[in-house]
Amino acid sequence: MPLIHTCYRILEIDRSIAFYEALGFRETGRLPIRDEAINVFMNIPGDGDMPRLELTYNIGREEPYEIGTGYGHIAITADDLDATLARLAEQGIEPEKPPYSVREGGSRLCFVRDPDGYRIEILERAG
């Protein structure tokens, strides 16, 4: 069974869409769930028709969600991490700390947080 998407809950649709669009995602659709919620589906262009990210907005919720200790992150790749971070900085998105490598000679990476506090790893493609 293939993994089809990751889902998490958001507080503001437009703010979250703007953040993920800055990372290269695009909105592929919305699905209202009665008068309770709206699911926003996003993927990365060239990744096929299947959404990779489902953002759930629960209508009327105002208090932040507890992310908990079990959530880690989702990961995306960048051809040029420095250029990607410069582009994100223009939109007010800064990494938690400067890019680094986990091991000598390994790919560089860094983490950013979305508007709701979820961590996203940006991993520079090797080579």
CA distance 125 to 57: 32
User: Catalytic residues, which ones?
Assistant: 121
A 10 A CB-CB count for 75 gives 12
Question: Would you state the structure tokens that stand for residue 102, as one six-digit string?
Answer: 């986990």
Q: Which of 39, 40, 66, 42 is nearest to 52 (CA)?
A: 42
Cα-to-chain-centroid distance, residue 14: 14
> Side-chain half-sphere of 58: how many Cα atoms within 13 Å?
8
Helix (H, G, I), strand (E, B) or coil at 46: coil
